[in-house]
Amino acid sequence: MAEQPARIATERLSAMYGKITAVKDVTLGFASNRVHALIGPSGCGKSTFLRSLNRMHELTPGGWITGRVLLDGKDVYAASVNPMQLRRRVGMVFQKPTPFPTMSIFDNVAAGLRVGQKRSRTELAQIVEQTLRDAGLWDEVKDRLTASALALSGGQQQRLCIARTIAPKPEVVLLDEPTASLDPQGAQRIEELLFTLKQQFTIIIVTHNMQQAARVSDTTTFFYLGGMVETGATRQLFTSPAREETEAYITGRFG
């Protein structure tokens, strides 16, 4: 575990993901050990912004960025930064569960641990167990660690993906609508998990579900038409927003 989760911020960030979704001139900071929600209608740039934080958008043709993303004050787009190493510090979980289909439950969690530093099987087993406990999955899978990850339910697969992401002990965890494809029970388990995980990590979550944002986050940022409209403490933003556009969105007048 990192001694202190990172502070991450953007300075005049503009980015394009693929050919259609862009964000423009966003300056925003995220404090450590908090859950930060990004809300807004489809196509407003939330996921593009999220992917720019660990350079995932570079994996899609047409992706580009201007401005800076600062991780503990250092620009992650500097020439000296290795994107693969960056993504070990800023992990990401996607909308649909993406377990490695040819790997067991154990090997899915251990995958990132086998890159770089060599660890004994005993050490790997200890880290995998603790990580599955952190992801709220250990009691459900401890007797079938060698089984295929695809044998798990959708909600279990998503928690497995979270376990795989946090196993290398990143400082920041990005979640792109992690409950969108889950049933209500699976979504509830993920939401409950966030309250525990923020003790170890800085968490940024994109969600279309405003009730979810209100339940799980400490701060919320509203995006619209590729720009940041308003950001602040979640309770304040949902009860007395400063901008008319924000009030219109959270009261359901559009979006």
What is the average per-residue pLDDT within 42-52? 94
Amino acid type, 102: T
What burial letters (b/e) apply to 211-228, b meaning 16+ CB within 10 Å?
Answer: ebbbbbbbbbbbbbebbb
Q: How far apart are CA 202 and CA 59, in angstroms?
A: 23
Digit-coded pLDDT (tens) for 146-184:
999 999 999 999 999 999 999 999 999 999 999 999 999
Strands (E), 18-94: 21-30, 35-39, 64-71, 74-75, 90-93
Name the band, by pLDDT with cuts 50, 70 and 90, for residue 116. Answer: confident
More confident residue, 219 or 253: 219
Which tens digit of pLDDT belongs to each residue from 15-41?
A: 988 766 789 999 999 999 999 999 999
Distance CA 80, CA 100 (A): 30
Q: CA-CA distance, 156 to 136, in Å (whole number)? A: 9
Instruction: Give the residues across from 71 on adjacent strands.
Output: 8, 74
> What percentage of the chain reaches a pLDDT higher than 70?
97
Phi, psi of 137 (to 5 degrees): -125, -15
| Sign, CA torsion 249/253/254/255 | positive
Euclidean distance between the first and the last CA atom of the chain, given in angstroms as a whole number: 39
Cα separation, 76 vs 54, whole angstroms: 8
Determine the pLDDT at residue 156.
97
Q: Distance between CA 74 and CA 83 in Å, rounded?
A: 14
Domains of the chain in sequence order: 8-98+170-250 (3.40.50.300)
Report the mean per-residue pLDDT for the chain. 94
Q: What is the CA 174 to chain-centroid distance, rounded? A: 2
Give the number of C-alpha atoms closer than 13 A to the C-alpha of residue 32, restricted to the C-beta side: 14
Q: What digits encode the pLDDT tens for the residues 76-90?
A: 999 999 999 999 999
Q: Are 50 and 174 in contact (CB under 8 A)?
A: yes
Give the global pTM: 0.94
Query: If you average pLDDT over residues 190-199, what whole number do you get?
Result: 96
Q: Is the pLDDT of residue 2 over 70?
A: no
pLDDT the model gives residue 115? 83
pLDDT of residue 4: 59
Q: Which residues contact 62 (CB under 8 A, 6 or more apart)?
A: 16, 17, 18, 19
Q: How confident is the model at residue 46, as a pLDDT?
A: 95
